[in-house]
Structure 1
Amino acid sequence: MAPAEDDISIEEKRVYAGSAGRTDAYVATAAGTVRVSLSADKVGAFDMVSRDPARDVAVLACGDAPDLVAAATPGGLSVAAVADDPDFALVDDDPAVAVGAAGGREGVIVAREDGTVERVAFEECGAAVASTTGLGTVADPRAVDASLVAAADGVYRVTDGTLVDVGLDDARDAAGAGMPLAATGSGLYWLGNGWMTARERAADAVASDGDGHAMAVVDGDLLVHSGGSEWDGETWAVAELPVDETAVALGYGPGVSVAVTDAGTLCVDAGDGWRHQVVGVRDVNGVALAVVE
């Protein structure tokens, strides 16, 4: 079992950010957005940085400028620059249910309550909106990642400024970095010659780092794909979290995997097993990681 955060000394906490760099995990919850500071698998301070209920969260990498955190909220799309004291502000008032980073100047892709999917671009990757472009509509959108949109009526891909239906049904999550993956009510799928079944049984969450590593929650179990070019069922293995809780939100940062549970525990693995910290929030809806230093 990985050591709990309580096993990390105060001295370690003081120097953790300087030893291996700092990555912030932004956790979307019904109570607001929580930021948790990480350095490799050490968990540092955590605090509520926005009290607006968050249905999803994404981080837009901006190169030389600070990264941008975007939260999908009932009040609209809320964004803030990654900083020690991020200042979230609504950039529109159209209720949002899911958001994903499209990359750089492409901005973010946002799914709205009514099923509308839009691309929102920002001026110089700041909080000012440069343009909003409609991409199409889906039934009951659930998640957005890169160019993929998961919805009740299947998986869609943003292609040439429009949504293209790429199949499946009851899609609950999708991962668009590297090999396209989909978590649906009937199983976990990867996109080969059409959608191929990796695991049967209901899948609720999936994430990938674009370099052959991925995680998924299938029938309550956390499955890990540790790399390589094969994606069938045998390439996935059950991972044992250090707590008897179910992961509901998954994410990747440089060299780290993060799983947040239904009980509000954040678990992080930097290659030497899982550490964990109780963050103290329930109703977790998503997690996204931003490099700080």
Structure 2
Amino acid sequence: MAPAEDDISIEEKRVYAGAAGRTDAYVATGGGVVRVSLSADKVGAFDMVAREPARDIAVLPRKENPDLIGAATADGLLVAAVGDDPEFEPFDSGTEGSDRIGAEPAVAVGACDGAFLVAGEDGGIDRIAVGDATAMPGDSSEDSTATRIGTVRDPRAIDGPLVAAADGVYRIVESDGIGSDLELSAVGLDDARDVAGAGMPLAATASGLYWLGNGWMTARSGDAAAVAADGDGHAMAVVDGDLLVHPEDAVEWETDTWRAAELPVDEEPTALGYGPGVSVAVTAAGTLCVDAGDGWRHQVVGVREVEGVALAVVE
């Protein structure tokens, strides 16, 4: 069994952080957003950075300004800049006629092509872009836009250009081939719970885990609840309560390329995520597990109702 982080000294954590840099894992829970600091597989401090119950979480990379964290909440999309003291603020595009976009109850959030994609309780999928001129999310900017792309039935998750919904998987595509407009295109399956849009498209559904080849191909049959990928061949999925891992050196995506992973705790993972060189799985009981290539370490962070996790590079 991997050692708990309580067995790692504070000095060791400091030395390792200086060598490996820091990545923060943001965990969306029914009690708010919890931030957990990581240096490779060393787990450092963790704290509650937002008190609003969060249904999903995503990180939006930006070139000129700090990366942004977006949380899907009952009050809509809350946004904060990645850093030591993130302050979540409601997104407001400030544009006439779209003031409700981003302010309605949100159930899922992702990031794609420089903007957040947000799913509302009503099934609406919105593209929310925070302009580069806006260094902090609370500031209004003429460069910020909010656009309704389309509607699905009972949206569950968003990752990259993919949307998981009760009526299957959707892909966000250019409606005219030029790029002036976007629309939703149904790409199959049914009762999708989660999707991974980085690299090979993957989908977790009530009937199994699928990868997109010549149509959707079965990777594993069973009750698939979650899936995540890093775009470089690594992927994880939860099927029938077990964590499955697809290694980088596995070129294909069929059933025998996935292997069962043994977490250091006997708990079911519910949220999966990737950062630079690290895999993260958070369990329903509130334990964060991290693997940097040498096996899983874990830390109990004391949260329940875990809904999602997203990783942001800090230094």
TM-score by shorter chain over 0.5: yes
Cα distance in 2 between the residues matched to 1:159 and 1:5? 43
Cα distance in 2 between the residues matched to 1:280 and 1:41? 19
Matched, 1:143 2:157: yes
Secondary structure, aligned partner of 1:240: coil
Aligned counterpart in structure 2 of residue 117 of structure 1, from 111, 125, 134: 125
Aligned counterpart in structure 2 of residue 250 of structure 1, from 272, 286, 304: 272
Match of 1:208 in 2: 229
Equivalent pair of 1:61/1:103 in contact (CA under 8 Å): no
Cα distance in 1 between the residues matched to 2:103 and 2:70? 14
Amino acid in the other structure paired with 1:97: V
Matched, 1:239 2:239: no
Aligned counterpart in structure 2 of residue 164 of structure 1, from 182, 185, 193: 185
Cα distance in 2 between the residues matched to 1:120 and 1:31? 25
Cα distance in 2 between the residues matched to 1:254 and 1:149? 24
Cα distance in 1 between the residues matched to 2:16 and 2:120? 39
Q: Percent identity?
A: 72
Match of 2:6 in 1: 6
Offset from partner CA, 1:130-178 (integer Å, 9 cap, x none): 1111111000000000000000000000001000000000000000000
Deviation at 1:15, TM superposition (A): 2.8
Matched, 1:283 2:305: yes
Number of equivalenced pairs:
291
1:1-293 to 2 correspondences below 5 Å: 1-91=1-91, 92-104=102-114, 107-124=115-132, 126=135, 127=137, 128=140, 130-160=144-174, 161-227=182-248, 228-293=250-315
Equivalent pair of 1:60/1:103 in contact (CA under 8 Å): no
Which is further off, 224-233 or 169-178? Answer: 224-233
Cα distance in 2 between the residues matched to 1:63 and 1:21? 19
Match of 2:96 in 1: none
Cα distance in 1 between the residues matched to 2:30 and 2:301? 14
Deviation at 1:6, TM superposition (A): 1.1
TM score, norm. by length of structure 1 = 0.98
Cα distance in 2 between the residues matched to 1:53 and 1:192? 37
Amino acid in the other structure paired with 1:194: G
* Structure 1 gaps, min length 5: none
Which is further off, 87-96 or 232-241? Answer: 87-96
Amino acid in the other structure paired with 1:249: A
Cα distance in 2 between the residues matched to 1:151 and 1:62? 28
Equivalent pair of 1:176/1:208 in contact (CA under 8 Å): yes
Q: Which has the larger radius of gyration?
A: 2
Secondary structure, aligned partner of 2:54: coil
Offset from partner CA, 1:40-99 (integer Å, 9 cap, x none): 000000000000000000000112421100000001100000010000001142110000
Secondary structure, aligned partner of 1:6: helix
C-alpha root-mean-square deviation of aligned residues, in Å?
1.0
Amino acid in the other structure paired with 2:36: V
Cα distance in 2 between the residues matched to 1:231 and 1:255? 21
**Higher strand fraction (1 or 2):** 1
Cα distance in 2 between the residues matched to 1:15 and 1:90? 37
